[in-house]
Chains A and B, each alone.
Chain A
Protein backbone atom coordinates (compact mmCIF):
# COMPACT_ATOMS: atom_id res chain seq x y z
CA UNK A 1 0.00 0.00 0.00
CA UNK A 2 1.31 3.39 -0.98
CA UNK A 3 0.71 6.10 1.60
CA UNK A 4 0.32 9.68 0.47
CA UNK A 5 1.33 12.31 3.03
CA UNK A 6 0.82 16.04 2.61
CA UNK A 7 3.09 18.51 4.43
CA UNK A 8 1.04 21.65 4.71
CA UNK A 9 0.58 24.83 6.75
CA UNK A 10 -1.36 27.62 5.11
CA UNK A 11 1.32 30.19 5.92
CA UNK A 12 4.51 30.37 3.88
CA UNK A 13 8.05 30.20 5.18
CA UNK A 14 7.26 28.08 8.23
CA UNK A 15 9.33 25.02 7.27
CA UNK A 16 7.23 22.84 4.97
CA UNK A 17 10.00 22.24 2.46
CA UNK A 18 12.59 21.66 5.18
CA UNK A 19 10.18 19.18 6.77
CA UNK A 20 9.24 17.42 3.52
CA UNK A 21 12.91 16.87 2.76
CA UNK A 22 13.62 15.58 6.27
CA UNK A 23 10.57 13.34 6.46
CA UNK A 24 11.16 11.79 3.03
CA UNK A 25 14.84 11.23 3.77
CA UNK A 26 14.05 9.76 7.19
CA UNK A 27 11.53 7.32 5.74
CA UNK A 28 13.94 6.28 3.00
CA UNK A 29 16.72 5.75 5.57
CA UNK A 30 14.40 3.28 7.29
CA UNK A 31 14.07 1.35 4.06
CA UNK A 32 10.78 2.71 2.75
CA UNK A 33 10.73 3.51 -0.92
CA UNK A 34 9.81 7.19 -0.89
CA UNK A 35 9.21 9.96 -3.41
CA UNK A 36 8.99 13.59 -2.34
CA UNK A 37 7.07 15.83 -4.73
CA UNK A 38 7.41 19.60 -4.92
CA UNK A 39 3.89 20.99 -5.47
CA UNK A 40 5.04 24.59 -5.41
CA UNK A 41 4.52 25.15 -9.13
CA UNK A 42 6.37 28.25 -10.26
CA UNK A 43 8.56 28.36 -7.16
CA UNK A 44 10.65 25.22 -7.29
CA UNK A 45 12.82 24.90 -4.16
CA UNK A 46 12.78 21.36 -2.91
CA UNK A 47 15.46 20.43 -5.49
CA UNK A 48 17.87 22.89 -3.81
CA UNK A 49 17.13 21.60 -0.32
CA UNK A 50 17.63 18.03 -1.53
CA UNK A 51 20.79 19.06 -3.42
CA UNK A 52 19.70 17.73 -6.80
CA UNK A 53 19.02 21.01 -8.61
CA UNK A 54 21.59 20.33 -11.32
CA UNK A 55 20.04 17.00 -12.20
CA UNK A 56 16.53 18.28 -12.91
CA UNK A 57 15.41 17.35 -16.41
CA UNK A 58 11.67 16.77 -16.14
CA UNK A 59 9.15 17.95 -13.58
CA UNK A 60 5.69 17.25 -12.17
CA UNK A 61 3.89 19.09 -14.97
CA UNK A 62 5.91 17.22 -17.61
CA UNK A 63 4.61 13.95 -16.19
CA UNK A 64 1.05 15.25 -16.06
CA UNK A 65 1.28 16.40 -19.68
CA UNK A 66 2.83 13.13 -20.82
CA UNK A 67 6.15 14.70 -21.89
CA UNK A 68 7.93 12.18 -19.69
CA UNK A 69 6.97 9.05 -17.83
CA UNK A 70 7.39 8.80 -14.09
CA UNK A 71 10.58 6.74 -14.22
CA UNK A 72 12.23 9.30 -16.47
CA UNK A 73 11.10 12.22 -14.35
CA UNK A 74 11.98 11.23 -10.80
CA UNK A 75 15.52 11.97 -9.63
CA UNK A 76 17.16 9.23 -7.61
CA UNK A 77 18.91 10.64 -4.57
CA UNK A 78 22.68 10.13 -4.56
CA UNK A 79 23.16 9.88 -0.80
CA UNK A 80 20.19 7.83 0.33
CA UNK A 81 18.81 4.64 -1.20
CA UNK A 82 15.08 4.36 -1.84
CA UNK A 83 14.72 8.13 -2.10
CA UNK A 84 13.35 9.93 -5.16
CA UNK A 85 12.54 13.56 -5.90
CA UNK A 86 9.97 14.91 -8.33
CA UNK A 87 10.61 18.64 -8.82
CA UNK A 88 8.02 21.34 -9.39
CA UNK A 89 7.60 22.94 -12.74
CA UNK A 90 8.74 26.54 -13.15
CA UNK A 91 5.73 27.37 -15.30
CA UNK A 92 3.63 30.36 -14.36
CA UNK A 93 0.49 28.63 -15.60
CA UNK A 94 -1.71 28.28 -12.53
CA UNK A 95 -3.86 25.62 -14.16
CA UNK A 96 -0.95 23.31 -14.91
CA UNK A 97 -2.06 20.96 -12.14
CA UNK A 98 -5.29 19.11 -12.81
CA UNK A 99 -6.87 16.70 -10.38
CA UNK A 100 -6.84 13.89 -12.95
CA UNK A 101 -3.24 14.71 -13.80
CA UNK A 102 -2.12 14.56 -10.18
CA UNK A 103 -4.07 11.36 -9.63
CA UNK A 104 -2.25 9.89 -12.64
CA UNK A 105 1.14 10.77 -11.15
CA UNK A 106 0.21 9.07 -7.87
CA UNK A 107 -1.05 6.03 -9.75
CA UNK A 108 2.22 5.78 -11.68
CA UNK A 109 4.27 6.11 -8.48
CA UNK A 110 2.19 3.36 -6.92
CA UNK A 111 1.89 0.95 -9.83
CA UNK A 112 5.03 1.54 -11.89
CA UNK A 113 7.42 2.37 -9.05
CA UNK A 114 5.87 0.64 -6.05
CA UNK A 115 6.45 3.49 -3.65
CA UNK A 116 5.77 3.00 0.04
CA UNK A 117 5.42 6.73 0.71
CA UNK A 118 4.70 9.81 -1.35
CA UNK A 119 5.44 13.05 0.48
CA UNK A 120 3.75 16.13 -0.98
CA UNK A 121 5.48 19.42 -0.21
CA UNK A 122 2.59 21.89 -0.33
CA UNK A 123 2.87 25.47 -1.51
CA UNK A 124 1.75 28.23 0.86
CA UNK A 125 -1.80 29.50 0.86
CA UNK A 126 -5.16 27.79 0.76
CA UNK A 127 -5.61 28.10 -2.98
CA UNK A 128 -5.57 25.58 -5.75
CA UNK A 129 -1.96 24.44 -5.40
CA UNK A 130 -2.28 23.70 -1.70
CA UNK A 131 -5.65 22.02 -2.20
CA UNK A 132 -4.20 19.87 -4.96
CA UNK A 133 -1.30 18.76 -2.78
CA UNK A 134 -3.74 17.76 -0.04
CA UNK A 135 -6.61 16.29 -2.03
CA UNK A 136 -5.42 12.69 -2.37
CA UNK A 137 -3.58 12.53 0.95
CA UNK A 138 -4.05 9.67 3.41
CA UNK A 139 -2.36 11.61 6.16
CA UNK A 140 -1.23 15.18 6.88
CA UNK A 141 1.63 16.84 8.71
CA UNK A 142 0.67 20.39 9.68
CA UNK A 143 3.80 22.53 10.04
CA UNK A 144 3.32 25.44 12.42
CA UNK A 145 5.53 28.10 13.98
CA UNK A 146 4.79 29.32 17.52
CA UNK A 147 3.47 32.62 16.27
CA UNK A 148 -0.09 33.96 15.92
CA UNK A 149 -0.52 34.12 12.15
CA UNK A 150 0.99 30.69 11.61
CA UNK A 151 -1.26 29.08 14.25
CA UNK A 152 -4.34 30.72 12.83
CA UNK A 153 -3.49 29.63 9.29
CA UNK A 154 -2.82 26.11 10.50
CA UNK A 155 -6.24 26.02 12.10
CA UNK A 156 -7.80 27.04 8.80
CA UNK A 157 -5.78 24.39 7.01
CA UNK A 158 -6.93 21.74 9.49
CA UNK A 159 -10.50 22.78 8.67
CA UNK A 160 -9.81 22.45 4.97
CA UNK A 161 -8.23 19.03 5.45
CA UNK A 162 -11.41 17.92 7.20
CA UNK A 163 -13.62 18.83 4.25
CA UNK A 164 -11.62 19.13 1.03
CA UNK A 165 -9.80 15.83 0.70
CA UNK A 166 -10.95 12.85 -1.29
CA UNK A 167 -11.34 10.92 1.96
CA UNK A 168 -13.71 13.55 3.32
CA UNK A 169 -15.63 13.88 0.06
CA UNK A 170 -16.15 10.14 -0.09
CA UNK A 171 -17.53 10.24 3.43
CA UNK A 172 -14.59 8.36 4.92
CA UNK A 173 -14.06 11.05 7.51
CA UNK A 174 -11.04 13.19 8.31
CA UNK A 175 -7.55 12.08 7.42
CA UNK A 176 -5.19 11.90 10.40
CA UNK A 177 -3.45 15.26 10.77
CA UNK A 178 -0.53 15.73 13.13
CA UNK A 179 1.20 18.87 14.30
CA UNK A 180 4.89 19.59 13.77
CA UNK A 181 5.89 22.71 15.65
CA UNK A 182 9.05 24.15 14.09
CA UNK A 183 11.44 27.03 14.77
CA UNK A 184 10.78 26.58 18.48
CA UNK A 185 12.88 28.52 20.91
CA UNK A 186 12.56 27.19 24.48
CA UNK A 187 14.49 30.19 25.86
CA UNK A 188 11.96 32.61 24.42
CA UNK A 189 9.07 30.47 25.61
CA UNK A 190 10.50 30.48 29.12
CA UNK A 191 10.73 34.29 29.00
CA UNK A 192 7.08 34.48 28.01
CA UNK A 193 7.93 35.83 24.56
CA UNK A 194 6.78 32.88 22.50
CA UNK A 195 3.76 30.58 22.50
CA UNK A 196 4.62 27.30 24.15
CA UNK A 197 4.08 23.88 22.62
CA UNK A 198 1.27 23.35 25.13
CA UNK A 199 -0.40 26.62 24.07
CA UNK A 200 -0.30 25.70 20.40
CA UNK A 201 -1.51 22.18 21.06
CA UNK A 202 -4.37 23.45 23.17
CA UNK A 203 -5.50 25.78 20.40
CA UNK A 204 -5.09 23.45 17.44
CA UNK A 205 -6.16 20.31 19.31
CA UNK A 206 -4.39 17.78 17.12
CA UNK A 207 -1.82 15.16 17.99
CA UNK A 208 1.77 16.40 18.31
CA UNK A 209 4.22 14.74 15.96
CA UNK A 210 7.23 16.70 17.09
CA UNK A 211 8.92 19.94 18.03
CA UNK A 212 11.83 21.15 15.89
CA UNK A 213 14.00 23.78 17.55
CA UNK A 214 15.10 26.97 15.83
CA UNK A 215 18.51 25.87 14.67
CA UNK A 216 21.52 27.08 12.73
CA UNK A 217 21.79 23.52 11.41
CA UNK A 218 18.79 24.11 9.13
CA UNK A 219 20.51 26.95 7.28
CA UNK A 220 23.75 24.96 7.12
CA UNK A 221 21.83 22.06 5.62
CA UNK A 222 20.11 24.18 3.00
CA UNK A 223 23.43 25.85 2.13
CA UNK A 224 24.91 22.41 1.53
CA UNK A 225 21.87 20.92 -0.19
CA UNK A 226 21.67 18.06 2.28
CA UNK A 227 18.48 17.49 4.31
CA UNK A 228 19.05 18.45 7.96
CA UNK A 229 18.02 14.99 9.17
CA UNK A 230 21.34 13.73 7.77
CA UNK A 231 23.14 16.04 10.21
CA UNK A 232 22.79 13.53 13.00
CA UNK A 233 24.79 15.59 15.49
CA UNK A 234 22.49 18.58 15.24
CA UNK A 235 19.48 19.33 17.45
CA UNK A 236 17.17 19.88 14.46
CA UNK A 237 18.43 16.70 12.78
CA UNK A 238 17.76 14.65 15.90
CA UNK A 239 14.36 16.27 16.41
CA UNK A 240 13.41 15.36 12.85
CA UNK A 241 14.63 11.78 13.37
CA UNK A 242 12.41 11.52 16.43
CA UNK A 243 9.49 12.91 14.46
CA UNK A 244 9.98 10.30 11.75
CA UNK A 245 10.03 7.56 14.38
CA UNK A 246 6.79 8.90 15.87
CA UNK A 247 5.34 9.19 12.40
CA UNK A 248 5.89 5.45 12.08
CA UNK A 249 4.25 4.78 15.42
CA UNK A 250 7.09 4.83 17.95
CA UNK A 251 6.41 6.45 21.30
CA UNK A 252 9.25 8.84 22.09
CA UNK A 253 9.45 11.65 24.63
CA UNK A 254 9.73 15.14 23.13
CA UNK A 255 13.22 16.63 23.26
CA UNK A 256 14.54 20.17 22.77
CA UNK A 257 11.46 21.70 24.38
CA UNK A 258 13.24 23.18 27.39
CA UNK A 259 16.31 25.39 27.46
CA UNK A 260 19.47 23.95 28.96
CA UNK A 261 20.52 27.38 30.15
CA UNK A 262 18.32 27.47 33.20
CA UNK A 263 18.18 30.39 35.59
CA UNK A 264 18.55 30.06 39.33
CA UNK A 265 14.86 29.23 39.66
CA UNK A 266 15.16 26.54 37.01
CA UNK A 267 18.25 25.08 38.60
CA UNK A 268 16.59 24.90 41.99
CA UNK A 269 13.22 23.60 40.94
CA UNK A 270 13.59 22.36 37.35
CA UNK A 271 13.41 18.70 36.47
Chain B
Protein backbone atom coordinates (compact mmCIF):
# COMPACT_ATOMS: atom_id res chain seq x y z
CA UNK B 1 0.00 0.00 0.00
CA UNK B 2 1.39 3.39 -0.94
CA UNK B 3 1.67 6.34 1.38
CA UNK B 4 -0.86 8.16 -0.82
CA UNK B 5 -3.70 5.89 0.22
CA UNK B 6 -3.56 7.61 3.61
CA UNK B 7 -4.06 10.96 1.98
CA UNK B 8 -6.97 9.91 -0.18
CA UNK B 9 -10.49 10.37 1.19
CA UNK B 10 -11.63 7.42 3.29
CA UNK B 11 -13.48 4.75 1.39
CA UNK B 12 -17.24 4.87 1.81
CA UNK B 13 -18.58 2.06 4.02
CA UNK B 14 -20.47 -0.70 2.25
CA UNK B 15 -23.57 0.09 4.32
CA UNK B 16 -23.70 3.66 3.06
CA UNK B 17 -23.29 2.48 -0.52
CA UNK B 18 -26.18 0.10 0.09
CA UNK B 19 -28.30 2.88 1.51
CA UNK B 20 -27.71 5.20 -1.43
CA UNK B 21 -28.47 2.49 -3.97
CA UNK B 22 -31.64 1.59 -2.13
CA UNK B 23 -32.83 5.16 -1.92
CA UNK B 24 -32.50 5.52 -5.69
CA UNK B 25 -34.17 2.27 -6.68
CA UNK B 26 -36.97 2.59 -4.15
CA UNK B 27 -37.76 6.17 -5.27
CA UNK B 28 -37.85 4.99 -8.83
CA UNK B 29 -40.12 2.04 -8.16
CA UNK B 30 -42.46 4.14 -6.08
CA UNK B 31 -42.90 6.69 -8.84
CA UNK B 32 -44.69 4.19 -11.06
CA UNK B 33 -46.47 2.35 -8.28
CA UNK B 34 -50.23 2.18 -8.20
CA UNK B 35 -50.37 3.58 -11.71
CA UNK B 36 -51.60 1.72 -14.74
CA UNK B 37 -49.71 -1.47 -15.57
CA UNK B 38 -48.37 -0.01 -18.82
CA UNK B 39 -46.25 2.63 -17.05
CA UNK B 40 -43.00 0.63 -16.75
CA UNK B 41 -43.21 -0.32 -20.41
CA UNK B 42 -44.03 3.22 -21.45
CA UNK B 43 -40.98 4.33 -19.52
CA UNK B 44 -38.82 1.72 -21.24
CA UNK B 45 -40.06 2.63 -24.73
CA UNK B 46 -39.61 6.35 -24.11
CA UNK B 47 -36.07 5.61 -23.05
CA UNK B 48 -35.47 3.77 -26.34
CA UNK B 49 -36.76 6.75 -28.32
CA UNK B 50 -34.66 9.27 -26.41
CA UNK B 51 -31.60 7.07 -26.89
CA UNK B 52 -32.00 7.26 -30.65
CA UNK B 53 -30.96 10.90 -30.37
CA UNK B 54 -29.08 11.31 -27.09
CA UNK B 55 -27.04 8.80 -25.12
CA UNK B 56 -28.73 8.80 -21.71
CA UNK B 57 -28.60 6.64 -18.61
CA UNK B 58 -31.11 3.95 -17.72
CA UNK B 59 -32.68 6.22 -15.12
CA UNK B 60 -32.73 9.35 -17.30
CA UNK B 61 -36.43 9.00 -17.99
CA UNK B 62 -38.62 9.56 -14.99
CA UNK B 63 -42.36 9.12 -15.07
CA UNK B 64 -44.67 10.22 -12.33
CA UNK B 65 -48.40 9.89 -12.19
CA UNK B 66 -50.26 12.32 -9.96
CA UNK B 67 -53.92 12.56 -9.24
CA UNK B 68 -55.34 15.99 -8.65
CA UNK B 69 -59.04 16.67 -8.16
CA UNK B 70 -60.23 13.91 -10.44
CA UNK B 71 -57.61 14.66 -13.05
CA UNK B 72 -54.58 12.48 -13.78
CA UNK B 73 -51.31 14.16 -14.62
CA UNK B 74 -48.52 12.23 -16.26
CA UNK B 75 -45.28 13.97 -15.53
CA UNK B 76 -42.29 13.14 -17.68
CA UNK B 77 -38.76 14.11 -16.79
CA UNK B 78 -35.87 13.43 -19.09
CA UNK B 79 -32.41 14.24 -17.82
CA UNK B 80 -30.01 14.94 -20.67
CA UNK B 81 -26.27 14.51 -20.22
CA UNK B 82 -24.38 17.76 -19.74
CA UNK B 83 -22.60 17.75 -23.12
CA UNK B 84 -25.89 17.37 -24.95
CA UNK B 85 -27.43 20.33 -23.19
CA UNK B 86 -24.73 22.69 -24.34
Q: Does B26 touch A at the CB level, under 8 Å?
A: yes
- On chain B, the residues within 8 Å of A105 by CB distance are none
Q: Does A48 touch B at the CB level, under 8 Å?
A: no
What range describes how many residues of B lie at the interface?
10 to 19
Number of A residues near B (Cβ < 8 Å) is 19
Interface string of B12-25 (1 = CB under 8 A from A): 01111011011101
Check if B13 sits within 8 Å of A192, measured CB to CB: yes
**B39 to nearest A CB, angstroms?**
13
Q: Does B51 touch A at the CB level, under 8 Å?
A: no
Check if B29 sits within 8 Å of A189, measured CB to CB: no
- On chain B, the residues within 8 Å of A155 by CB distance are 26, 29-30
Q: Does B36 touch A at the CB level, under 8 Å?
A: no
- On chain A, the residues within 8 Å of B29 by CB distance are 152, 155-156, 159
- On chain B, the residues within 8 Å of A203 by CB distance are 19, 22-23, 26
Give A194 to B18 CA distance when docked, in angstroms.
8
Instruction: Give chain A's interface secondary structure class.
Output: helix
Check if A192 sits within 8 Å of B15, measured CB to CB: yes
- On chain A, the residues within 8 Å of B25 by CB distance are 152
Q: Does A193 touch B at the CB level, under 8 Å?
A: yes
Give A148 to B23 CA distance when docked, in angstroms.
10
- On chain B, the residues within 8 Å of A148 by CB distance are 18, 21-22
Give A148 to B29 CA distance when docked, in angstroms.
14
Give A202 to B26 CA distance when docked, in angstroms.
11
Q: Does A199 touch B at the CB level, under 8 Å?
A: yes
Residue in chain B with minimal CB distance to A162: B34
**A152 to nearest B CB, angstroms?**
6
A residues 158-185 near B (Cβ < 8 Å) are: 159, 162-163
Give A203 to B29 CA distance when docked, in angstroms.
12
Give A195 to B18 CA distance when docked, in angstroms.
7
3 A-B pairs with the lowest CB-CB distances in the bound complex, closest first: A192-B13, A159-B33, A199-B19
25 contacts between A and B (CB under 8 A): A148-B18, A151-B22, A152-B25, A152-B29, A155-B26, A155-B29, A156-B29, A159-B33, A159-B34, A163-B34, A189-B15, A191-B13, A192-B13, A192-B14, A192-B15, A193-B13, A193-B14, A193-B15, A194-B15, A195-B19, A195-B22, A196-B15, A199-B19, A203-B22, A203-B23
A residues within 8 Å of B by Cβ?
147-148, 151-152, 155-156, 159, 162-163, 189, 191-196, 199, 202-203
B residues within 8 Å of A by Cβ?
13-16, 18-19, 21-23, 25-26, 29-30, 33-34
